[in-house]
Amino acid sequence: MNDVFKPRVIIQKLNVFYEGRHVLKDVTVNIPENQITAIIGPSGCGKTTLLKSLNRLVDLADGVRFSGKVLVDGANIFDNGTDITEIRKRMGLISQTPNPLPMSIYDNVAYGPRIHGTKNKEELNQIVKQCLQAAGLWNEVKNRLGEPASKLSIGQQQRLCLARALAVKPEVLLCDEPTSALDPVSAEHIETQLATLKKDYTIVFVTHILRQAKRIADYVIFLYLGEVIEQGKAETFFTKPKDPRTQAYIEGKSITRTEV
C-alpha cells in the first residue's frame, strides 16, 4: 500500500464461510485513514460481506465462521471478549435502503446518544443540529423536527440515516451502496456529504457503479470471487491497472478463464 496513506483498519488473511461456502478468501488490505475507500466487484463477489466483517455484523448470518484478523488500533475485533456493541458504535453502517426509525426526525438522530447515556436536552439539541448539518439536511428540516421521519423523501431519509450514524460519534463510516435506491440528485447529495466528511472520518464505500467509484474514491479494492485481485490509489487503479482481470472489469468485459 502507498505510504502516503496511514492505515485506519488493517485486515489480515480474513476468511469468511457461510454454511461451508468460502465467501472471502485470505483478504489482506489496509483501509486508509480519512479517505474514501471504494470496494468494487461483480455481484456476489463478497463486497458486503467484507464491509459487514468490519463491524461484526457478519456474525448475525446463520452458519457463519471466520478466521484472520481485523485490527483497529492494534486490537483484533474478532478476539474473544471483544465488546461487539462498542465495535458497532465505532463503525457506523449506512445500508442500501433508508431505514429511519418510526419516530420523529429529531428522535431519529437523538436515539443513539440517548441510548449511550446523553440526557441533557441542550446537549441533545446541539448533537441533532450538528449531525443534520453534517448530513446536509438541517436547512431542509430545521422547522419540522417533530414530524415523523417517514414524511421525508427517500433521499432525505438516507441523509437522516447518515445523521443518525454520525450522532454516536463513529470513527469509520461503512456505506453499503447507500445511493442505489436514490435518484441522481439525491445520490449526488450523499456523495457530496461523504466527500466533506472524510476529513473527520474514514469511509468505506461499497458500490457496483464504476463511475461513482471514479468520482469519489481515493483508494479502491477490487474483489472477484471472494479474493482481492487488486487494490491501490484510485487515480492509478483506473488508469493503469496491473491485473488483466481488473482491466477487463473496468472496461465492462467478461473475465475469461485465461485471465484468472
pLDDT for res 256 = 64
Q: Does 145 map to a domain?
A: yes
Q: Tell me the average pLDDT across 4-10.
A: 87
Structural domain for 234, as ranges: 7-259
Q: Does 197 map to a domain?
A: yes
pLDDT for res 83 = 92
- Exposure on the CB side of residue 47, measured as CA atoms within 13 A: 25
pLDDT for res 79 = 92
Distances 223 to 17, 54, 191, 192, 253 between C-alpha atoms, Å = 16, 16, 22, 25, 15
Q: Tell me the average pLDDT across 91-106.
A: 94
Q: Tell me the average pLDDT across 117-132.
A: 95
DSSP secondary structure letter of residue 255:
-
Q: Does 102 map to a domain?
A: yes
C-beta pairs of 128-137 under 8 Å, 24+ apart in sequence: 128/163, 128/167, 131/163, 131/164, 131/166, 131/167, 132/160, 132/163, 134/162, 134/163, 134/166, 134/193, 134/196, 134/197, 135/159, 135/160, 135/162, 135/163, 135/166, 135/193, 136/189, 136/192, 136/193, 137/163
Q: What is the pLDDT of residues 45-84, one digit of tens each?
A: 999 999 999 999 988 888 899 999 999 988 999 999 899 9
DSSP secondary structure letter of residue 101:
-
Q: Rounded to whole angstroms, how far apart are CA atoms 53 and 77? A: 9
Q: What is the pLDDT of residues 99-112, one digit of tens each?
A: 999 999 999 999 99
Q: Does 185 map to a domain?
A: yes
Q: Rounded to whole angstroms, how far apart are CA atoms 164 and 239? A: 36
Tell me the percentage of the chain whose pLDDT exceeds 70: 97
Count of domains forming the chain: 1
Is the pLDDT score of 239 beyond 60? yes
Q: Does 1 map to a domain?
A: no
Q: What is the pLDDT of residues 133-147, one digit of tens each?
A: 999 999 999 999 999
Burial of residue 115 (number of CB atoms within 10 Å: 0-12, 13-18, 19+): exposed
Tell me the percentage of the chain whose pLDDT exceeds 90: 82
Cell numbers standing for residue 68: 484472520
Q: What is the pLDDT of residues 144-177, one digit of tens each?
A: 999 999 999 999 999 999 999 999 999 999 999 9
CATH number at 154 reads 3.40.50.300
Other CB atoms within 10 Å distance of the CB of residue 169: 15
pLDDT for res 4 = 64
pTM value > 0.85: yes
The count of residues in the chain is 260
Burial of residue 194 (number of CB atoms within 10 Å: 0-12, 13-18, 19+): buried
Q: What is the pLDDT of residues 182-220, one digit of tens each?
A: 889 989 989 999 999 999 999 999 998 999 999 999 999
* pLDDT band with cut points at 50, 70 and 90 for residue 260: very low
Is the pLDDT score of 259 beyond 80? no
Residue 213's φ and ψ, nearest 5 degrees, are -60, -40
Q: Does 231 map to a domain?
A: yes
* pLDDT band with cut points at 50, 70 and 90 for residue 258: very low
pLDDT for res 143 = 97
Q: Tell me the average pLDDT across 23-30.
A: 96
Stronger pLDDT, 151 or 181, i.e. the higher one:
151
Q: Does 2 map to a domain?
A: no
